[in-house]
Structure 1
């Protein structure tokens, strides 16, 4: 199956580099390029991509607003943010807007291509650096986080607790499956159950709870 990708970045050189990278993969097809948030919204409706790679800082409508608009029209399309380590002011609002993954712009070509494929498959790709930054920021007040985490994960099974710990390490579903010697479908089921039990709205929030739940 070919994954249709929409590239969104206000820098032409960045878009050109991403297009060239995607063209090296037989299973990826770039169906559009947008230099602004408003153009991204239009192309997402027109081209119906399977994955949107979204820059955050753009003039006019930024990536956060564009993500909200795209997901309002097509709630199931994965929007994967391309960001930098120090972009917290945009990172957290993008998470709230519904972004399904965060990759750093200096990720290796292999990591970026794998992230696109994971997003298309329903997974949530996060660069380990981004996930660690989000979790470290979220646990500035360690005692409060641990208290909340204990309350929210108190009813987990042993296997769910194991999966939660690995999510907190930043592992993907396939990596967790390999680590626990189970099928990826089983891992997806556990992650879904964990979100339902803890009330976590996405994988990053689940990872934060997992970090707070770890023994000191």
Structure 2
């Protein structure tokens, strides 16, 4: 997969480039120092995945993410930052980021999470999840309480089997309920459903 690294700290960029390039299935196509440069490189290189910092000069990562996802929706964006505050997490997800990792993540885990993101799953660091997973019993419009529970667990990255175990349901029941949820909300897959969930939590 083709990877673009965006961070205003040159040492971080070079370190990530060196370490991730050792992975057989990852090709680091370029590095960028700010969000504007990331947009320009997307035009030229069209990467599969972008590792995007948040606080950068010229244009920050959240603004850049919004523009890139509007222009190239197939590009997957993983925020990679030291910021763990709820506001930045929610703004990044609302802008279109499908993943949010902390820079303290090991290279091995980061590479695996990049693969998970490329496969179409939402990726959130465990500490990030703790930051934003406040008790929220708000039932989304048009969904039952049980359907809302399932959406919340999907947003946490749980599989149908894991959801079934947690809610004491059959896997088939979870799968069928998920189909009903997608139809009700007119959403095409579980990744978009997770993004929908976090966007609604931001409102």
Query: Normalising by structure 1, what TM-score?
Result: 0.73
The corresponding residue for 1:94 is 92
What is the alpha-carbon distance in structure 2 between the residues aligned to residue 119 and residue 7 of structure 1? 15
What is the alpha-carbon distance in structure 1 between the residues aligned to residue 170 and residue 145 of structure 2? 23
The corresponding residue for 2:56 is 58
Say if 2:84 and 2:102, in contact at 8 Å, map to a contact too: no
The corresponding residue for 1:149 is 139
Matches within 5 A, 1:156-167: 163-164=150-151, 166-167=153-154
The Cα of 1:59 is off from its aligned counterpart by 0.9
Aligned residues: 193
User: Residues 155 and 5 (structure 1 numbering): CA distance in 2 closer, same or farther, change over 3 Å?
Assistant: same
**Given the alignment, which residue of 12, 19, 22 partners 2:20?**
22
The SS at the match of 2:40 is helix
The SS at the match of 1:133 is helix
The corresponding residue for 1:128 is 126
The Cα of 1:4 is off from its aligned counterpart by 0.2
The SS at the match of 1:103 is strand
The Cα of 1:91 is off from its aligned counterpart by 2.2
The SS at the match of 2:50 is strand
Q: Structure 1, residues 75-127: CA drift from partner, whole Å, max 9, x if none?
A: 12111101235333322221111111111110122221111111111111111
What is the alpha-carbon distance in structure 1 between the residues aligned to residue 162 and residue 42 of structure 2? 32
User: Residues 193 and 27 (structure 1 numbering): CA distance in 2 closer, same or farther, change over 3 Å?
Assistant: farther
The Cα of 1:193 is off from its aligned counterpart by 5.3
- Mind listing any 5+ residue stretches in structure 1 that lack a counterpart? 140-144, 210-216
1:117 and 2:85 are equivalent in the alignment: no
What is the alpha-carbon distance in structure 2 between the residues aligned to residue 22 and residue 191 of structure 1? 35
What is the alpha-carbon distance in structure 2 between the residues aligned to residue 14 and residue 193 of structure 1? 44
Say if 1:125 and 1:172, in contact at 8 Å, map to a contact too: no
Say if 1:38 and 1:61, in contact at 8 Å, map to a contact too: yes
**Given the alignment, which residue of 40, 47, 50 partners 1:49?**
47
Query: Normalising by structure 2, what TM-score?
Result: 0.77
Say if 2:83 and 2:102, in contact at 8 Å, map to a contact too: yes
What is the alpha-carbon distance in structure 1 between the residues aligned to residue 78 and residue 142 of structure 2? 27
User: Residues 149 and 122 (structure 1 numbering): CA distance in 2 closer, same or farther, change over 3 Å?
Assistant: same
User: Residues 195 and 73 (structure 1 numbering): CA distance in 2 closer, same or farther, change over 3 Å?
Assistant: same
- Mind listing any 5+ residue stretches in structure 2 that lack a counterpart? none
User: Residues 113 and 193 (structure 1 numbering): CA distance in 2 closer, same or farther, change over 3 Å?
Assistant: farther
The SS at the match of 1:71 is helix
Say if 1:85 and 1:133, in contact at 8 Å, map to a contact too: no
What is the alpha-carbon distance in structure 2 between the residues aligned to residue 116 and residue 190 of structure 1? 28
